[in-house]
Amino acid sequence: MEDDVVLSAPLFAEMDPENSRALIESMNPVSFARGDVLFHEGDPGDRLFVIRSGKIKLGRRSSDGRENLLSIQGPGEMFGELSLFDPGPRTATATVVADAELVELAHVELVAWLEQHPTVAKHLLKALAHRLRRTNEALADLVFSDVPGRVAKALLDLATRFGEPTDEGVRVAHDLTQEELAQLVGASRETVNKALADFAARGWVRREGRAVVLLDADRLERRAR
Ligand code: CMP
C-alpha cells in the first residue's frame, strides 16, 4: 500500500511492475521527524528522494537571514534531482514539516537506470517542465498579485495536494506555522495573518491551528485570480 504512493512519482511513470519493484529495491528507506534537515542549500548533492508520507519544505535563505519557501512537497513527490541534472550544489534546503518517511536513490544509481531505461528520462523531463511552469506562475504572482490573492492561491494549491473533503468544505492540514505560510507566500507574517483573518471574517475559511477549512472555495478562487 505504502509503495503505491512511491509508485505515483514521475520516476515510475509507465514502468512495468517488475522494473518498478527492482528500482524500489535499490532505494533506501529513511525516516525523519519534524524539524530535521535532510540537506542544506549549497551542500554537494548525491541523491534524490521520493516521499512516502509526511511533508518536506524546500527553502532558501537570503544573506540577511530571511527565508523563502519554494515549495511544500508531500506523498508521491520527488526532490533532490536538480543537482544531478545540473551538477552543482543543492539549490535549496530540505526540512521536514510533518514527520516523514521517504526513499532515497543515489544519483549514480539513477544515471545507470536511465541508461538502461531511457523512457524514464521523458517523465523526469515532464516533471521538471511542470516545476518550471509552477515557478513561473509563482514569480508572476509575486509581481502582479497582492498578498491576499497569493494567500488564496497558496491555500487552494495546498488543498489540491493535502486537502480532505468534509461536510463543510475541504480541510487542509498544511502543518505550517504562520511564519512558514508567510515564507511560502513571500510576505510578512502580519500581512498574511491579516489576509487570513479577513477570509475568516467573510466566512471563506476557518482556521484550526496548522490546518484550515476552505468553506467557500469559489470565492477564494475568484480572489486568487
Ligand atoms: P537539488 O538542487 O538537488 O536540492 C534541492 C531541491 O529542491 C532541488 O534539487 C529540487 O528537487 C527542489 N527544488 C528546487 N527549486 C524548486 C522549485 N522552484 N520548486 C520545487 N522544487 C524545487
Q: What is the pLDDT of residue 84?
A: 86
Task: Enter the pTM of the model.
Answer: 0.92
Residue 36 main-chain phi, psi, to 5 deg: -65, 145
Mean pLDDT in order along the chain per 10 residues (225 residues): 80 86 91 97 94 96 92 95 89 96 93 89 92 93 94 96 94 94 95 96 94 95 93
Residue to mutate (ligand 1; options 11, 51, 61, 71; most atoms within 8 A of CB): 71
Q: What is the pLDDT of residue 1?
A: 44
**From the CA of 195, how far away is ligand 1's center (Å)?**
28
The CATH class given to the 2-142 domain equals mainly beta
Which residues touch 68 (CB under 8 Å, ≥6 apart)? 59, 60, 61, 62, 183, 186
**From the CA of 33, how far away is ligand 1's center (Å)?**
20
**From the CA of 92, how far away is ligand 1's center (Å)?**
6
Residue nearest to atom 8 of ligand 1 (CA): 80
Quick one: CA torsion of 175, 179, 182, 188, rounded to 10 degrees?
170
Q: Comparing 2-142 with 146-224, is the CATH topology the same? A: no
Q: Specify whether the backbone of 212 is left (phi greater than 0), alpha (psi in -120 to 50) or beta.
A: beta
Residue 221, Cα to own-chain centre: how many angstroms? 20
**From the CA of 71, how far away is ligand 1's center (Å)?**
8
Q: Are 46 and 90 in contact (CB under 8 A)?
A: no
Q: Are 225 and 137 in contact (CB under 8 A)?
A: no
Cβ(81) – ligand 1 distance below 6 Å: yes
| CATH (one of 1.10.10.10, 3.20.20.30, 2.60.220.30, 3.40.50.2300) for 146-224 | 1.10.10.10
Residue nearest to atom 12 of ligand 1 (CA): 79
Domain boundaries along the sequence of the chain: 2-142, 146-224
The amino acid at 205 = V
Q: What is the pLDDT of residue 2?
A: 57
**From the CA of 90, how far away is ligand 1's center (Å)?**
8
Nearest atom (ligand 1) to Cα of 88: 2
28-32 and 78-79: which strand pairing?
A: unpaired
Between CA 82 and CA 91 the distance in angstroms is: 8
